């Protein structure tokens, strides 16, 4: 072997030794993605309901936009005054009513981030009713709301009236997103995986003007109008969803009072079994019938007296029977796949979250602890039997309007769940009356924002943390270093 070759070999061997040492070190450590500290992102959604408007402010880390369960609720603000549909005669006030809550939310967000914050407004059943009654007035309200929100330094994404089916579906997404039903982080796999044992819950929403039911049935959905399909985290979900306009609790109780007035055949006072004994209220047929929900021939106030006195009698049994009469159960004939008014519904299955007015009414009655149906019915019976004087003295801080209606609302919930949706003694335990999950309010707003901002991907999220690239990186680095040191040895040889 020549002297020149002997000079070259030690240089190569040194290069190989150094590169081998480096590859050994790299093989023992995990190469992590290196990134700048994540910033906090924000999003706002106005829930413009029939009786009031609420603003929800959400936040999440920018490096977790496609994970699940990472969006948290930072603030909720109830807008002062009624829902925006009540400003049909003065649309500019609808926009003005939103200012205080928006300004409160902006105080939470750093000023330099304001212009990037997406802001959405979704109007629900109150505006759907106004659109049926007076479409131009509804358009003007939406226009004024839009005009106001565009005056602020935010990324306003628009205001629109959402359908009842969207409202139900977004509520379903919210619940299952917050409960990690779609995907969850596995410490074992160091990745986001589809939880094999996850429960996909159904959603029961009760508002002032509409109510929604959404769930995944066991069998096929034969009525395509009631089917909604989503692809979330690489899995397809087809849910049954239906919204009943005019069957929210406020509109339902209006229909009940009008029905009782009509049954009284012009006599006054009119006995109202859902109001507490000793309570009386003077009203007019016009106020009871001034809604598309009470404008049908069967509920026409034309035969009712101009003035009427509603006199509470506080009888839960009679109350439930009177409420049943505002539903058209006969339209279903003997079909077991039908609720009322001829509406198709597949058999119930799984667990359900009942939120919004379902929760508020049962929370007041201390019935959100999973009590059996018999205990619930007994509590409602005893509450309805209490006099108006007793209730006022026992709950001095409760608004009189709410206090008079708890008996009616509780019985309405029982009729809706048992007679209409067909829950029974055994399936009652599958309903969880709950308003929050993961410290976030349950409702359609979070699902709406997640959908519009594409924060729930159609495919499974890529593994973005703790990627096991150590060996691959070391091998590549070994090859590069070997070539480099061989080149160095060659230069030594030449020189």
Q: Of the residues 167, 262, 277, 405, which is catalytic?
A: 167
Active site residue 405: no
- 385 token code pair: 């039997």
Cβ atoms of 258 and 293 within 8 Å: the answer is no
Collect all residues with Cβ–Cβ distance below 8 Å to 131 and sequence separation of at least 6: 138, 161
Report in angstroms the alpha-carbon separations of 454 from 112, 447, 450.
24, 10, 6
Structure tokens at 154: 């935010």
Strands 307-312 and 270-272: parallel
The 10 Å CB-count burial string (b at 16+, else e) for 266-305 is eeeebbbbbbbbbbebeeebeebbebbbbeeeebebeebb
Q: Are 116 and 201 in contact (CB under 8 A)?
A: no
The Cβ of residue 11 has, within 10 Å, a number of other Cβ atoms equal to 18
- Give dist(CA 91, CA 342) in Å, integer: 36
Residue 354: CB atoms within 10 A of its CB come to: 25
Q: How many CB atoms lie within 10 A of CB 171?
A: 28
Which active-site residues does the annotation give? 167
């Amino acid at each position: 072997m020549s002297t020149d070759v002997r000079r070259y070999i030690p240089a190569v061997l040194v290069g190989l030794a150094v590169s081998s040492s480096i590859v050994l070190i790299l093989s023992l450590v995990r190469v992590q993605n290196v990134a700048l500290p994540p910033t906090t992102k924000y999003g706002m959604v106005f829930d413009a309901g029939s009786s009031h408007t609420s603003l929800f402010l959400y936040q999440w880390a920018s490096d977790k936009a496609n994970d699940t369960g990472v969006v948290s609720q930072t603030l909720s603000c109830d807008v002062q005054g009624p829902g925006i549909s009540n400003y049909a005669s003065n649309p500019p006030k609808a926009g003005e009513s939103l200012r205080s809550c928006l300004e409160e939310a902006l105080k939470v967000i750093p000023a330099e981030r304001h212009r990037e914050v997406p802001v959405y407004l979704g109007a629900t059943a109150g505006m759907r009713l106004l659109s049926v009654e007076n479409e131009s007035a509804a358009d003007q309200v939406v226009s004024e709301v839009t005009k106001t929100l565009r005056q602020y330094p935010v990324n306003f994404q628009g205001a629109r009236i959402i359908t009842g089916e969207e409202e139900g579906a977004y509520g379903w997404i919210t619940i299952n997103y917050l409960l990690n039903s779609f995907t969850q982080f596995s410490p074992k796999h160091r990745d986001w995986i589809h939880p094999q044992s996850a429960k996909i819950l159904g959603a029961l929403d009760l508002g002032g003007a509409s109510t929604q039911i959404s769930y995944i049935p066991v069998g096929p959905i034969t009525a395509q109008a009631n089917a909604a399909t989503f692809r979330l985290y690489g899995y397809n979900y087809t849910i049954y969803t239906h919204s009943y306009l005019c069957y929210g609790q406020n509109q339902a109780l209006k229909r009940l009072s009008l029905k009782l007035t009509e049954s009284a055949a012009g006599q006054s006072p009119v006995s109202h079994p859902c109001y507490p004994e000793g309570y009386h209220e003077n009203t007019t047929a016009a106020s009871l019938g001034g809604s598309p929900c009470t404008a049908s021939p069967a509920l026409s106030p034309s035969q009712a007296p101009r003035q009427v006195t509603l006199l509470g009698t506080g009888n839960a049994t009679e109350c439930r029977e009177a409420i049943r009469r505002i539903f058209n159960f006969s339209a279903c004939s003997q079909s077991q796949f039908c609720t009322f008014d001829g509406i198709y519904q597949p058999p119930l299955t799984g667990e359900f979250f009942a939120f919004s007015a379902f929760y508020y009414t049962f929370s007041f009655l201390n019935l959100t602890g999973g009590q059996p149906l018999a205990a619930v019915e007994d509590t409602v019976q005893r509450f309805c039997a209490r006099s108006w004087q007793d209730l006022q003295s026992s709950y001095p801080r409760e608004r009189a309007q709410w206090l008079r209606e708890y008996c009616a609302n509780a019985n309405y919930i029982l009729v809706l769940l048992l007679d209409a949706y067909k829950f029974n003694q055994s399936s009652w335990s599958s309903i969880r009356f709950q308003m929050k999950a993961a410290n976030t309010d349950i409702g359609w707003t979070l699902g709406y924002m997640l959908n519009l901002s594409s924060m729930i991907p159609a495919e499974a999220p890529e593994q973005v943390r703790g990627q096991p690239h150590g060996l691959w990186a070391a091998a590549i680095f070994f090859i590069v270093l070997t070539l480099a040191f061989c080149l160095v040895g060659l230069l030594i040889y030449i020189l």
